[in-house]
Structure 1
Amino acid sequence: MKRVLIIGATSAIAEMVARIYAKRGDRLFIVGRSEPKLSTIASDLGVRGANEIHSFVSDLADIDAQHSMLDAAWSALGGIDVVLIAHGTLPDQDRCATSLEYSLREFNVNGTSVIALSQQLADRLGAGSVLAVISSVAGDRGRASNYLYGSAKAAVTAYLSGLGQSIKAKGIAVLTIKPGFVDTPMTAAFKKGALWAKPDAVAKSIVRAIDRRKSVAYVPGFWWFIMTIIKSIPEFVFRRINM
């Protein structure tokens, strides 16, 4: 039986991950901003078989509040075996280009707050545990259509790469999760196509990567091939492409 902390648990992907652990009979501590949504999810996870379920309401972008949230999780479960950090937003790039305040706020949500959480968790987790963090394929290369979001995810990806190398000797696995296009409420306005995945399929891939203690997981896996090609394009050519 695992002790699982899911941060940003009201996101579609995180909720599907929580269901998998609930079905396994694990003990769960879920965190999110919306008390009504958390309450509904907690009740559902109990029905699905979770051995124990705790919920905690917190603004995950508030770095000063992170410490007390982690204290509550450790107190409730007596330690943590698996952490999934899944909170984030999808900024409006046009607004980012015209509002520095908005840009910095969105970078904090998607980048700085995630890094702060990861560092605090690295200091608390013990041997055999897994820290899994949702980044994005958008962090592999900046694109005109979402470069603020991509830069935040690039910071997270680079940070996790170094963190994983730094704490490997402690027996802690750090997993960087790089989803491509996922059909969630956050992407409801986008036209969907063949490259789009469903949250439940992405969740299964995430849990499988956690179980295998992988360091990086592109989900679905074909995104590794796509991003390898995109990253290989010379910068002077890439800047002429409309992406």
Structure 2
Amino acid sequence: MNDTWIILGASSTIAKAFTRSVAETGAHVILAGRRMDDLDATAADASARGAAGATPVMFDARDPATFQQIVDTAVATGGTVSCAVFVGSMPAQDAIDADPSLIDGTITDSLTGPARFLQMLAPLMEAQGDGAIVGVGSVAGDRGRVGNYVYGAAKAGFATYLSGLRNALGRHGVHVLTVKPGPVDTAMTAGLGKQPFMTTADAVVADIHKALAKKRNVLYTKLIWWPVMTIIKLIPEPIFKKMSI
């Protein structure tokens, strides 16, 4: 029986690359997001690439009423259920400074919404004793930086949540992978200009599959971000707060 992948935030650039990759293995994909016209197009592409099935489903991280239908759809498809989370939003920090109400949506999109969904999905995955969860965070969550500390706080919280979920579900045969990309060439980063060590969605997805095969717990992509962030985390706070990074 084919695997089933729930893909949250399926309209994102990285999610589409991930969808293409698992569709080509014959998996069933459940494409969850807000833009149904876009999800319909992605579903057609996935079917053409060999997916056993491709089901668009409404998902809004800010509306928990949309969550249960996705779980029910996954149960109905059968097979081993896995989930990849590409949900998040990143308003510019200066926009948040001007309108602090933007914090609520940022935290919900990047932390509390995905965490609530995964908590609903966890009993199913625990019962099946198999499958994987891929949670996409960010290197921004490794330390609060002046340019994006609200987004970074949300991603830091998501990484901590995934760490606990990994501990809980790992005892039942479910693997949880935390992915920490640096800047990726996507619509989300389009306004940031050229960033150091920028990578592509396809490269991130290739790294994810390698990490899943090796049962890695945490993936930095590009790998250069692991030593970079290790150094940044070691900078003493009195020095760090004077830096502009």
TM-score by length of 1: 0.94
The Cα of 1:196 is off from its aligned counterpart by 0.5
Asked if structure 1 preserves the Cα contact closer than 8 Å seen for 2:8 and 2:59, the reply is no
The Cα of 1:111 is off from its aligned counterpart by 1.3
Asked if structure 1 preserves the Cα contact closer than 8 Å seen for 2:20 and 2:46, the reply is yes
Could you report, residue by residue, the CA deviation over 1:57-79 in whole angstroms, capped at 9, with x for unpaired residues? Answer: 2223212321232222222x125
Alignment-derived partner of residue 103 in structure 1: 103
Could you report, residue by residue, the CA deviation over 1:8-63 in whole angstroms, capped at 9, with x for unpaired residues? Answer: 11100011011111111211111111011001111111111112211112223212
Could you report, residue by residue, the CA deviation over 1:123-145 in whole angstroms, capped at 9, with x for unpaired residues? Answer: 22121211111111111001010
Stretches of structure 2 that go unaligned for 5 or more consecutive residues are none
Alignment-derived partner of residue 25 in structure 1: 26
Alignment-derived partner of residue 43 in structure 1: 44
Could you report, residue by residue, the CA deviation over 1:146-205 in whole angstroms, capped at 9, with x for unpaired residues? Answer: 000000000001111112112221111111110101000111112124510011111111
Match of 2:136 among 119, 129, 134: 134
Query: Secondary structure in 2 aligned to 1:203?
Result: helix
Asked if structure 2 preserves the Cα contact closer than 8 Å seen for 1:17 and 1:207, the reply is no
1:120 aligns with 2:154: no
For 1:70 and 1:95, the matched residues in 2 are separated by 35
Q: What pairs with 1:7-86 in structure 2 (closer than 5 Å)?
A: 7-75=8-76, 77-86=77-86
Q: What pairs with 1:218-229 in structure 2 (closer than 5 Å)?
A: 218-229=220-231
1:161 aligns with 2:166: no
TM-score by length of 2: 0.94
For 1:191 and 1:99, the matched residues in 2 are separated by 23
Amino acid of the structure 2 residue aligned with 1:235: E
Q: What pairs with 1:145-160 in structure 2 (closer than 5 Å)?
A: 145-160=147-162
1:89 aligns with 2:77: no
Q: How much identity, in percent, do the aligned residues show?
A: 34
For 1:219 and 1:143, the matched residues in 2 are separated by 19
Asked if structure 2 preserves the Cα contact closer than 8 Å seen for 1:90 and 1:149, the reply is yes
The Cα of 1:211 is off from its aligned counterpart by 2.7
Amino acid of the structure 2 residue aligned with 1:41: T
Query: Secondary structure in 2 aligned to 1:188?
Result: helix
Aligned-residue CA RMSD in angstroms? 1.4
For 2:163 and 2:239, the matched residues in 1 are separated by 28
Stretches of structure 1 that go unaligned for 5 or more consecutive residues are none
For 2:165 and 2:36, the matched residues in 1 are separated by 32
For 1:54 and 1:213, the matched residues in 2 are separated by 28
